[in-house]
Amino acid sequence: MKAAESPLDEPFLVPGKDEEQRGSGGGADDVDNMEAQLLLHHDTGASFWRSCLNLSNVISGTITTASGCCPCRTLSLALFAVVGAVCYYTGELIARCMRAGGDAVRSYPDIGHLVFGWPGRKTIGDVMYGELYLVAISFLILEGDNLDKLLPGTAVGLPGGYVLRGKQLFTLVAAVVILPTTWLRDLCVLAYVSAVGLVASVALTASLVWAGVAEHGFHAAKDANVFSLAELPTSLSLYFVCFAGHGVFPTVYTSMSNRNDFTKVLLASSVLCSLNYALTAVLGYMIYVDDVKSLVTLNLPSGKVYTRIAILTTLITPLAKAAISTAVVVSTVVAACTVPFFGYLMSFIGSSLNVTVVVLFPCLSYLRIGEVRRAEAAGIVAILVVGVCVAVLGTYSSLHQIVSTFF
């Protein structure tokens, strides 16, 4: 299927198999195709720098690190660096699996089929669908919280005397805005919005600097604690969310003009996003200390220019990420209004699904595909053990936090 022409110097990417293969691939391919159309490329393949932009945009986009850094204090930055390094390595394992499969492997579900047959394709497709669904819910929560911060006190009267106000009102407004994107047959038009993700991250960081310099100042920690074992599963789960772009890595790899550069592209993008995440986390904690919220934009003072800039740029990104289906949007609205806890939900996504996509599946696939040196195999097994622990403990912790809010 030929990509639509773009007024940019490079057209939009619609990689993958031919039309017949796409039609027979099922849900897993649908997820991959949707993500693929939101990337930029050249007819002969994306350049090194364009690939860096694509991959950085895939990795970037979450603002949960500030809350994640609070519980573990200084040690959290070290843990964050370790998680980033692990995610970089598993991204490289995905590239090795792609090379082993040749041209027949062009997506993440394709790797599952190559390694584990049809059950592997279906399993990874189901996980990606589950991840996509929960992320859509988290985006609606994000939109509702931020719009309520931007326009406090807004209320709308409905027939029968019922009044919609606050987060529920804006969650519904966000859903109404997102809904038309589910009717688009060609998602390439959303690539313009998706590219704003990197700008939003920079705008948020700049707003925190502005808030610290002009309003609150920067503060040291109130206590000397550097580690909280009870908060560790939540923090690690959030860190994996920050680097959870592995499901789209094969698409970026396939789009490159020189696929041998993928490792360099992955390294550059990971370092760039890690620095931005870490700076945002440090600024959020130094300004608001223990009062920092799971959405750091909610800490910014109302009515300020930098607050409006940070919130508005953050609100744009979900518009390009939720174009799934009308039924999904409707059901996610109900879920977002029922479980309006952004931090807890992101922790659950990170532990239950992201760890599977980012750690477990790449490691298991590579161990099964190639001849692995004993030392490297031992390292991969160690990563798998840690991944399983984070998945189990993080999922239990996040579910316990969600349930505790109701009882």
Domain spans of the chain, in order of start? 19-404
| Whole-angstrom distance, CA of residue 112 vs CA of residue 124 | 7
The one-letter code for the residue type at 12 is F
Element (H, E) at 2: none
State residue 15's pLDDT score. 38
3-state DSSP call for residue 300?
Answer: coil
Q: Is 320 helix (H, G, I), strand (E, B) or coil?
A: helix
Detail the DSSP E strand segments found in 202-291: none
Segment 303-325, tens digit of pLDDT: 788 888 878 777 776 665 555 66
Contact 296, 62 (CB under 8 A): no
Per-residue pLDDT, 73: 55
Degrees, nearest 5: CA angle 330-336-341 = 170
DSSP 222: S
Q: 226, 339 in Cβ contact below 8 A?
A: no
State the pLDDT at residue 7. Answer: 31
Q: What angle, rounded to 10 degrees, do the helices at 232-242 and 74-101 form?
A: 50
Helices then strands, each counted (H, E), the chain: 18, 2
Burial of 276 (0-12, 13-18, 19+ CB in 10 A): buried
Query: May I ask the CATH architecture of the domain 19-404?
Result: Up-down Bundle (1.20)
Instruction: Specify burial of residue 105 (Cβ count, 10 A radius: 0-12, 13-18, 19+).
Output: buried
What pLDDT is recorded for position 140?
86
Which pLDDT does position 177 carry in this prediction? 81
CB–CB of 287/212 below 8 Å?
yes
Q: Output the CA torsion sign for 368, 124, 234, 89.
A: positive
Give ∠ CA 260-263-265 in degrees, rounded to 5: 100
User: What end-to-end distance do the CA atoms of the chain give, in Å?
Assistant: 51
Buried b (16+ CB within 10 A) or exposed e, 153-192: eeeeeeeeeeeeebbebbbbbbbeebeebeeeeebbbbbb
pLDDT < 70 positions in the chain: 1-44, 61-74, 181-182, 184-197, 216, 219-228, 290, 294, 317-325
Q: What is the per-residue pLDDT for 291?
A: 74
